Amino acid sequence: MLKKTVALLERTEDFLLALSLFVIIFLALLQILLRNAFGFGFLWAESVLKILVLWIALLGAMVATREGHHIKIDLLDRFLSPLLLLFIRRLTSAFSAFICGLAAYYSADLVYYEFLDSTVAFGIVPVWLCQIIMPVAFCVMGLRFFSQCWKQ
């Protein structure tokens, strides 16, 4: 049951990442076409594109963390013994989980205050709804880093 849930979440991440990229490309090209050919464009398009860049960055970070392709420095791999290297990897995974946990907490705090302020991003879409990816992504990445402490 847990493996099916995790697989569904992973497919959802991949789908949202691909959808966001498609919408960015389509909307940007449409905006260019409308401005150059007809002299107008959608007023809300720039705001949507900025928000989607945030979503792509964080969804991409989630996928990279899931697949172990996140940014890391493996300079010590050549010089340390396998046992010491395992300890260092577990330590860095735990530290990364801690930092992601802090980022999740403070970004959730930001989203909460945006919810209280009822600020609008574009149209009728509230800012907090656009920013909800931040605490979710940092929480998921933190959990993945924490699980890497034991998998290595």
Please write the tens of the pLDDT for every residue from 114-125.
999 989 998 899
Residue 47 in contact with residue 122, Cβ under 8 Å? yes
At residue 122, what are phi and psi to the nearest 5 degrees? -160, 145
Give which of 16, 17, 49, 15 is closest to 30, Cα–Cα.
49
DSSP assigned state of 71: -
Round the average pLDDT of the chain to a whole number and report it: 91
Assess whether pLDDT exceeds 90 at residue 43: no
**Residue 72's pLDDT is what?**
75
Q: What digits encode the pLDDT tens for the residues 94-106?
A: 999 999 999 999 9
Number of domains in the chain: 1
Over residues 49-81, the pLDDT tens digits come to 999 999 999 999 999 999 888 877 777 777 888
Task: Write out the residue range of the structural domain in which residue 67 sits.
Answer: 2-151
pLDDT of residue 152: 61
DSSP summary character for residue 77 = G
Q: What backbone phi and psi angles, to 5 degrees, belong to 126? A: -75, 155
